[in-house]
Amino acid sequence: MSVVEIQGVSKEFKGGTVALQDIDLQIEQGEFVSLIGPSGCGKSTLLRVIGDLIEPSRGAVTVNGKSARQARQDHDYGIVFQDAVLYNWRTVAKNVALPLELAGWSRERRQARVEEMLDLVELRGFADHHPWQLSGGMQQRVSIARALSFDPALLLMDEPFGALDEMTRERMNAELLRIWEASKSTVVFVTHSIAEAVFLSTRIVVMSVRPGRISKVIPVDLAQPRGTATREEPRFFELATEVREALHLGGHVEVPA
Amino acid sequence: MASVAVERPAERGVGVKRVGSRGVLLLVVLGVLWGVWEGFRAIGIHYGLTRPFTVDATSMPHIHDMFKALFERPNAEGPLLIVTLLEAAAFTAKEAALGFAMGSVGGFAIGALLAHSRMLQRGFLPYVVASQTVPILAIAPMVVIWFTNPNSTFHVTAWVAVAILASYLTFFPVAIATLRGLQATDHRAVELMRSYAANRWTVLWKLRFPTALPYLFSALKISATASIVGAIIGESPTSIAGGLGGAILNFAQFYSFQPQNLWATNIVAAALGIAFFLVVVGAERLVLRHAPENVA
């Protein structure tokens, strides 16, 4: 059974903008799939359709074999946005515990899990800090810990590192891969960055603009686990080139760096 | 990963120093105001100014006379003025505190209700706003007749009626701030809640209410002082003589003989307003201490 199954999904916004057109996509257990494309290609919309935060105009989405709505209600996915979206009045620990609180976990279970999660994102010792005391990269790791805290089968990420500087971003990429391997989750990852997509993904979905369509799907056969050396392999550059060309073919719009 | 420097807005020692320099600043400002008053008075009397008003010992008593009046007896056999005024202030504070509490709770309820539904907001917000154009003196007789008639099943003592009048001034800022604060949430924070399939109540208490708190406290600061004004004004139509409102009316009658007494009363009323304000500021510091950037 696929974790995500998207069949014939289209989305038109009020005013007639076609954000998505005839999207078909299957994502299997344990995959790391990146959605890449120029601004306005609907990649964030597609992510929100999977998460049942936006309703498609046509087509069907199933997550874990259920309707997207049911999956949302069953807490089947965690989501990470471009901004960490932490609640400033809560400590780091309480931010991570938020979804657990809403799911009715007991205090002891929550505490144990929060500790586990902070270990995973290497923020042990920051439990009692407040978000405004952390750097952008650390905040985003709190947000990842929060998204993974209830052990969702699926992790949706909407340009999570887009606001970070290049150095921090590369470090976060490596960390995310480590977390992905440790948590055995399935990831759908929206990005602007070709290098990021190639480095992280097992499969890259290239989208084009107006209307938002899938123009190419590129499997990434780089060996796991990946590290700094991966970025210097010839295969890395070949794949990056392939993605870049697909982006050029897909649209007459400026191509992101 | 290298830990990031944790920025504390102020170390303890620095904080004490800041409080100290604030105190000095306060004294300097008070001194300047004093000087401006006495200076204008001296010039006005010397040159016989009649604009913007006739300056003489009655229109502008010495400031030291105002403070001196506090420790004199307006009636030979009566208590010191300050004793009378502090008793009056305590009475007015009781009315204002109840009015503030009722107005804040009511204002919050109204704001939350209007935030809940756009239709309610469209329908009722204009009337909430319009309510503030009706002067408190115009509604006072109705409040008195409705709520203090001993023949009614539900009736209250006169000071509670004053509190009701004070609440009329305090609910408005709170209602507007609650409405705005509850709608000020970041749309992504709301999306996050949706991704957890959180219901309306959860979103309200875990997200919207904490977001609204800084707005709420700004309004409560306005309401705190407004509740004093409301209580003082409300005392005259309810015929309460024991509060600051009564004292003001009384000393206003004898202004031409003893102007300093009315001024002294005003000083006490202002001090009461400041005290109410500071209580709210203290509560704000306490409640919002974990989000210092939210404290105005």
Place of tokens 């510091």: B285
pTM of the model: 0.81
Q: Are residues B142 and B283 in the same domain?
A: yes
B220 and B147 in a common domain = yes
Same domain, B182 and B43: no
Same structural domain, B97 and B55: no
Assess if residue B192 is contained within a domain.
yes
Chain-wide mean pLDDT for chain B? 89
Supply B232's token pair: 């003082």
Mean pLDDT across B245-258 = 92
Digit-coded pLDDT (tens) for A235-244: 999 999 999 9
Same-domain check for residues B171 and B109: yes
Read off the pLDDT of residues A15-69 as tens digits, 9 standing for 90 and up: 888 889 999 999 999 999 999 998 888 899 999 999 999 999 999 999 999 999 9
**A10 strand-pairing partners:** A58
- The mean per-residue pLDDT over the stretch B100-106 comes to 97
Tokens 């974790």 found at: A3
Q: Are A155 and A200 in contact (CB under 8 A)?
A: no
pLDDT at B152: 86
**What is residue B41's predicted lDDT score, i.e. its pLDDT?**
94
Do A85 and B194 count as a contact with CB atoms less than 8 A apart? Answer: no
> Which residues of chain B are within 8 Å of residue A133 when distances are taken between CB atoms?
4, 6-7
Pair (B229, B97) in one structural domain? yes
Tokens of A152: 């969702």
CA distance A101 to chain B (A): 10
Closest by CA to A71, choosing from A98, A97, A48, A52, is A52
The whole domain housing B222 covers 91-239+272-294
The answer to the question of residue B18 being in a domain is no
Residue B279 inside a domain? The answer is yes
A-contacting residues in B 167-206 (Cβ below 8 Å): 186, 188-189, 191-192, 194-198, 202, 206
Q: Do A133 and B6 touch (CB under 8 A)?
A: yes
| Average of per-residue pLDDT across A164-184 | 87
Structure tokens at A10: 């289209």
Q: Total domain count for chain B?
A: 2
Model ipTM?
A: 0.86
Q: Residues 199..228 of B with a Cβ closer than 8 Å to A: which?
A: 202, 206-207, 210, 213
Question: What is d(CA B144, CA B28) in angstroms, rounded to the nearest whole number?
Answer: 45
CA distance B182 to chain A (A): 15
Q: B53 with B112, same domain?
A: no
> Do B52 and B116 belong together in one domain?
no
* Confidence at A250, pLDDT banded by 50, 70, 90: low
Regarding whether B217 and B98 lie in a shared domain, the answer is yes
Query: Is A1-76+156-257 a domain of CATH 3.40.50.300?
Result: yes
pLDDT digits (tens, 9 = 90+) for B155-192: 888 899 999 999 999 999 999 999 999 999 999 999 99
CA distance A96 to chain B (A): 13
The answer to whether residue B256 sits within a structural domain is no
Q: How many CB pairs under 8 A join A and B?
A: 66
> First and final CA of chain B: distance in angstroms?
34
Report the C-alpha gap between A229 and A236 in whole angstroms: 10
Residues of chain A with CATH 3.40.50.300: 1-76+156-257
| Pair (B54, B149) in one structural domain | no
pLDDT in tens, A201-233: 999 999 988 788 999 999 999 988 898 889 999
Nearest CA in chain B to A95: B206
Torsion angles phi and psi, residue A203, rounded to 5: -150, 140
**E strands present in B172-224:** none
Task: Taking residues B145-155, report their average pLDDT.
Answer: 88
